[in-house]
Amino acid sequence: MLEQSSHTNNTWSFLGHKVHCLSNAKGNDSDAESFNKSKPAILLIHGFGASTDHWRHNIPVLSKSYEVHALDLLGFGRSAKPGNLSYGGPLWRDQVVAYVQEIIKQPTVLVGNSLGGYAALAAGSALGKDAAGVVLLNAAGYFSEDKKEPKGFWPKIRRALGGGFLKDPFIQRLIFENLRQPGTIRRTLNQVYINKNNVDDYLVESIRRPSLDPGAFQVFRSVFDPGGPQGQPLDELFAELQAKVLLLWGNRDPWMNAPGKRATFLRYAPKETSEVVLDAGHCPHDEVPDQVNQSLLEWLDSINTSKTSFKKTKTLELN
């Protein structure tokens, strides 16, 4: 369970909608004050269906050395789920940018998993020098060179279900009801966690609970609409990015071809990009949190002190 004793749960408004967030910064959500302005802040951004709860094993460790923030993207977690929004990359990019500018108010390292990885990269590109770094953990997204539908979680689900089915509201409701059942959630997590020790009741409930909120079904329909907004290609975002990048890979991710995707990411990422390859699945930050925390802190130390000793690529094995 997440240890939040040093963190304050806050409510912030974006586009007039409630956003759940938390931080260890001094002050309130409209006047965040870092305990150490000599270091960048960290903003953690979850993936599809997840929330701030998914960083339960990372926040307590990172908070010992850094000002740490996490938020629930609109449509997920404890944040609002209005039915009149176009859920996708542009919305979540703008939400992250606004949070950094309005709440954190200092250079920030953006850390994102899956869908949150895309949001982190898109926001990092938009923030310019206010992005102190971008950390991508099995990030979602597509490249301009992709001739087929982009690989990853969303397209995989779309292909599996079929475009025709997704247009039928009755079928959509049946799929949604099945996906939010505790048994389905647990089976899905067991598919994407190589080490299943952390697939526990707390994690399952943290995903199930938001799906019961009013508006959750409309979010599902919007996100999985094949014609929905996808945002800029990853190569364009990398070209605009001014910050350094750390790629943290769970190399046995069944939802994406991580070994193949790694090569493409490295081809377009900034020259000084660092990479850590972990023997893990789609959510390495929760599956092997000790290894992710160690790698992230080492990389942060290297960019804060302008060291060049952080290895370009290293592989960590599960104990």
Give a yes or no: residue 180 inside a domain. Answer: yes
User: What pLDDT does 108 receive?
Assistant: 98
Give a yes or no: residue 3 inside a domain. Answer: no
- How far is C-alpha 281 from the geometric centre of its chain's CA atoms? 14
Query: Nearest to residue 31, comparing CAs of 99, 109, 96, 102?
Result: 102
Give a yes or no: residue 230 inside a domain. Answer: yes
Query: Nearest to residue 35, comparing CAs of 46, 22, 24, 44?
Result: 24
User: What pLDDT does 173 receive?
Assistant: 87
State the CATH number of the domain containing residue 138.
3.40.50.1820
Tens-digit pLDDT string for the chain (319 aa): 444 445 778 999 999 999 999 999 865 443 444 455 679 999 999 999 999 999 999 999 999 999 999 999 999 999 999 988 999 999 999 999 999 999 999 999 999 999 999 999 999 999 999 999 999 999 999 899 875 554 555 555 555 444 555 567 778 888 889 999 999 999 999 999 999 999 999 999 999 999 999 999 989 888 777 555 678 999 999 999 999 999 999 999 998 877 788 999 999 999 889 999 999 999 999 999 999 999 999 999 999 875 444 444 454 444 3
Give a yes or no: residue 1 inside a domain. Answer: no
Give a yes or no: residue 169 inside a domain. Answer: yes
Give a yes or no: residue 38 inside a domain. Answer: yes
Three-class SS state of 155: helix
> Where do the H-state alpha helices sit in the chain?
59-62, 89-99, 115-127, 153-161, 163-166, 169-179, 182-192, 201-208, 216-223, 234-240, 258-268, 284-287, 289-304
User: What pLDDT does 147 receive?
Assistant: 56
User: What pLDDT does 300 receive?
Assistant: 97
Give a yes or no: residue 60 inside a domain. Answer: yes
The number of distinct structural domains making up the chain is 1
Q: Would the pTM of this model clear 0.95, i.e. be above it?
A: no
- Sorted by sequence, the CB contacts under 8 Å of residue 30 that are 6+ apart come out as 102, 103
User: What pLDDT does 222 receive?
Assistant: 82
Residue pair 70/23 in contact (Cβ under 8 Å)? The answer is: yes
The whole domain housing 83 covers 8-316
Give a yes or no: residue 12 inside a domain. Answer: yes
